Amino acid sequence: MVVGDFPIEVDTLVVGAGPGGYVAAIRAAQLGQKVTIVDKGPLGGVCLNVGCIPSKALIEVGHKAEAANGHDELGITAENVSIDFSKAQEWKGKVVDKLTSGVEGLLKGNKVDILNGEVYFVDQHTAKVMDEKQSQTYKFNNCIIATGSSPVEIPSFKFSDRVLDSTGALNLKEIPKKLVVIGAGYVGTELGTAYANLGSEVTFIEGAKDILGGFEKQMTQLVKKGLKKKGATVVTGATAKGVEETKDGVKVTYEAKDKEETVEADYVLVTVGRKPNTEELGLEQAGIEVDEKGLIKVDKQCRTNADNIYAIGDIVPGLPLAHKASYEGKVAAEAISAHKSEVDYLAIPSVAFTDPELASVGYTEKEAKEAGYDVKSSKFPFAANGRALSLNSTDGFLKLITRKEDGLVIGGQVAGPNASDMIAEIGLAIEAGMTAEDIALTIHAHPTLGEITMEAAEVALGTPVHMM
């Protein structure tokens, strides 16, 4: 007997179960919508499975390995430190599994229907969900597309067992003796740093004039200094030309300063950007417009030109950040429920989990001046902080950007230990419309790294206590 494909009706169909999609689905369900979420891969998307979370786990393994080798200045020496990398990978896998199973529990707890399959739009209110066995039609009132992005592949560096994307680099079975990283943005620099901490000899090849584009030179200089200490080589203003795979590794050819160079390694990691996953969805069937980069055009409520279909995350303009996707997911879900939510990106932080960590939120001094603000830039060094000294980690600074007329906090940058956590206070200050005086008058626990934010606020007010 042949069963007909009778359409299943849902209030909201969410396509993609990464940090944008699953958050959107949960918020939509909390607001009373009947929600179905679909992904062709595991719940959690790239971020939880092969991105943010496993990379931070590997970075932590690198930090622990570096610490285990001792600190002579602290009187700690170590001999014959060994790393069982298979155990490290097993632990990383457990971290991922715990989080992905947690996402499943949250979705089910909010009565979200979970489907595994690929989605193809038929029209503005209809989509087919297909797996290996069948195809089912869904009729939706509203839809949120959150399909994320994929690594860009360079034609002369086709991905293979030796030419890796970020997923491949995270799943190596052994620590490379030598590793070449093409592209020193935040993904390449983070993973390269992790392997340098694990003992790999790492060479970074970056086409731009500096690494970690988007962060100020004062900040990236600290990272380059740290990489040099680890024995890494950083080549900027270079063009990767090609790779020759050998039996045991690779030979990478690049051009720098009008001279062709070759470097040999066990693997080459290619991290030159990501492309939006907007092909093969049938977007044209739903009348959804994309730009020349494949990004979907949206308004301030994440609504596409098809007024019942929304798009969030890496497939819309802006930085490809997991927390941006989650934020947009909430906005889209609330817009569907007729709330007046809309995106405001001023207080959205950018973080690089390098050594030291880098974080930025709001305006930089340069950006603020370009926007027409008369601003003051107030810096306080980690080296003048008791907690940083006791951690033996004093490289770095915190900088507050305040408006001269009233001391309003409109930006901040942190380079140093725990910058990824410290940036939240500055983000909150911007979001809440706080001034430098508000931060300075807030009692911060002693001795903590958090005091550095208070100290920078006092610098802004012209009343620093712990700095001349």
Known catalytic residues?
446
> What is the distance of C-alpha 91 from the center of its chain?
21
Mapping DSSP to helix (H, G, I), strand (E, B) and coil, where does residue 334 land?
A: helix
> What is the distance of C-alpha 431 from the center of its chain?
21
Distance CA 365, CA 252 (A): 38
**β-strand partners of 203:** 180, 233
Distance CA 14, CA 407 (A): 43
| Residues 6 or more apart in contact with residue 344 via CB below 8 angstroms | none
Distance CA 276, CA 215 (A): 23
Instruction: Tell me the C-alpha to C-alpha distance, in Å, between residue 234 and each of 35, 76, 231.
Output: 48, 30, 10
Contact 173, 290 (CB under 8 A): no
Beta pairing class for 267-270 and 309-311: unpaired
The Cβ of residue 84 has, within 10 Å, a number of other Cβ atoms equal to: 8
**β-strand partners of 401:** 377, 411
Angle between helices 451-461 and 419-432 (to 10 degrees): 50
Cβ-count burial of 175 within 10 angstroms (0-12 exposed, 13-18 middle, 19+ buried)? middle
**β-strand partners of 361:** 412
